[in-house]
Amino acid sequence: MSEFLYIKLEQMFSEEIEAGRWAAGERLPSVRELCRERDLSKATVLHAYSRLEARGLIEARPKAGYFVRRQESTPAMPSTGDPDTVPALVTVPALIRDIMRKGAAFDLLPNADRRADVPAGIVELNRSVARALRHQRGLQHQYYDEPLGVQPLRDQLMRRYQRRGCLFSTEQISITAGCQHALFLSLMATCQAGDVVAVESPGFYGVIQLAESLGLKILEIPASTDTGMDMDALASALIEWPVKAVLVTPAFSTPTGSLMPQAARARLLALADQYDLVIIEDDIYAELSFTGSVSPLKALDHNDRVILCGSVSKSLSRDLRLGWVVAGRWQERIDQLKLINMLAGNRFIEQGVADFICDGGYDRHLRRQRLQLQSQRDQLVEMLQQEWALPVRFSQPEGGLCLWLELPDTVDTLACYPQAQAAGMVITPGGLFTSQARYKNCLRLSFAHPWHSTRREALLSLGQLLMATG
């Protein structure tokens, strides 16, 4: 039983109502009566009654008091069984939903750090957002945010891109609800159902799903684990297929962590000119570079062909749902789509993040985070090299959050998903990163989280599990 008096009172009434000791429509004791009879404060009684009202057990009638509500019986949900014990792994979208439901897209052990301290940078960020909320003025809550998003945030982002060699004005950047949203708006604005979009293979499953839902055709272009999308392969594909757009992650793409060299970037833009392509750049991992600042592809874009998309999900917090798009000639269309789609963003989050960046909190956080990620990557590489008995090849990215593993051909990582799950682990099998039947023997492993003993043991038992099934 809780220590709080209002909780005790709430529990007492809820049990009595549920047991039928109070009839529907019956009046409960007045606040004053309860205070007197039980020696409680008015605030305690009001708090308990408010909570009972919010639970739908009682209702307040103005000037009459509190009354027991008629309880509607909730229709029984059809039984779906325990989702964790569904025998066969169905489709890739179902697997992605399962991974997201476990909050585990980037973690082998999603519950392992629940008790960890909140990092200093996030404490600082939370303070900035809370301050922005406290500074809410007048009837501001009755107005939507400006369509592009709050200006101080667009200003800060513009300055950060300036530092990375990419120039545009504050008015040319629009805030979105994350990078996935920015990619969605970009594809919506530039492509129509049936259009062909070239993507990296292996590539981000979120993009494959977006393309599928928009009725676009995906053309998978091979991508190397070091240098990203293969420009020769793209050039050949462009001769053969009427490609409308190319969606790339030049900096530390997922799942491989590849970094596209300058020559490949220049070639991509030349191909875009030659074939009149739209390039959609996913810049979400670029701030997580271990070897210094990386310019976006957009910095080389002299013919307004690149739509730059990004977010703070990987570098700061996934919960903020805060991203952006710099869309050049497509901006008006994208802003219109954003308006239709979400009307406006969350002003307080945007203002709080703007203040956090402006006060230097973001740079401090990034400096710590990069060092930590680099050390976690090194530990992962060392464990794979020295402690996994299984022969494995993997990428060694200089930024981002993950490695791409190639295991012996006999291993089927998708088939291992339920077994890993039964052992308390969530894996991201290679098959998620393609629209075809590929990468059966591959796996994305993240180094986003600290390798304390529990996670380390999980990784070792994953190696054994994969070896046993291979």
Ligand X SMILES: Cc1ncc(COP(=O)(O)O)c(C=O)c1O
List contacts with ligand X (CB under 6 A).
105, 178-180, 204, 206, 249, 254, 282, 284, 311, 313, 318, 323
Residue 291 burial by CB count (10 A; 0-12/13-18/19+): exposed, middle or buried? Answer: exposed
Q: Would you say 254 or 376 has its CB closer to ligand X?
A: 254
Q: Would you say 322 or 354 has its CB closer to ligand X?
A: 322
Q: Would you say 204 or 356 has its CB closer to ligand X?
A: 204
Least Cβ distance, residue 254 to ligand X (angstroms): 4
Least Cβ distance, residue 309 to ligand X (angstroms): 8
Q: Would you say 44 or 395 has its CB closer to ligand X?
A: 395
Residue facing ligand X at closest CB distance = 178
| Residue pair 309/248 in contact by the 8 Å Cβ criterion | no
Least Cβ distance, residue 323 to ligand X (angstroms): 5
Which residues are paired to 250 by β-bridges? none
Give the position of tokens 């629209």: 435
Cα 419 to chain center, whole Å?
Answer: 25
Sign for the pseudo-dihedral over CA of 158, 159, 160, 161: positive
Least Cβ distance, residue 314 to ligand X (angstroms): 7
Task: Say whether 456 sits in a helix, a strand or coil.
Answer: helix
- Omega of the bond leading into 408 within 30 degrees of 0 (cis): no
Separation CA 157–CA 454 (nearest Å): 38
Q: Would you say 249 or 413 has its CB closer to ligand X?
A: 249
Q: Would you say 313 or 441 has its CB closer to ligand X?
A: 313
Q: How far is CA 246 from CA 190, 217, 336, in A?
A: 11, 12, 22
Q: Would you say 250 or 463 has its CB closer to ligand X?
A: 250
Task: Say whether 68 sits in a helix, a strand or coil.
Answer: strand
| Residue pair 260/290 in contact by the 8 Å Cβ criterion | no
Sign for the pseudo-dihedral over CA of 338, 342, 344, 348: negative
Least Cβ distance, residue 291 to ligand X (angstroms): 20
Least Cβ distance, residue 395 to ligand X (angstroms): 15
Separation CA 250–CA 262 (nearest Å): 10
Least Cβ distance, residue 208 to ligand X (angstroms): 11
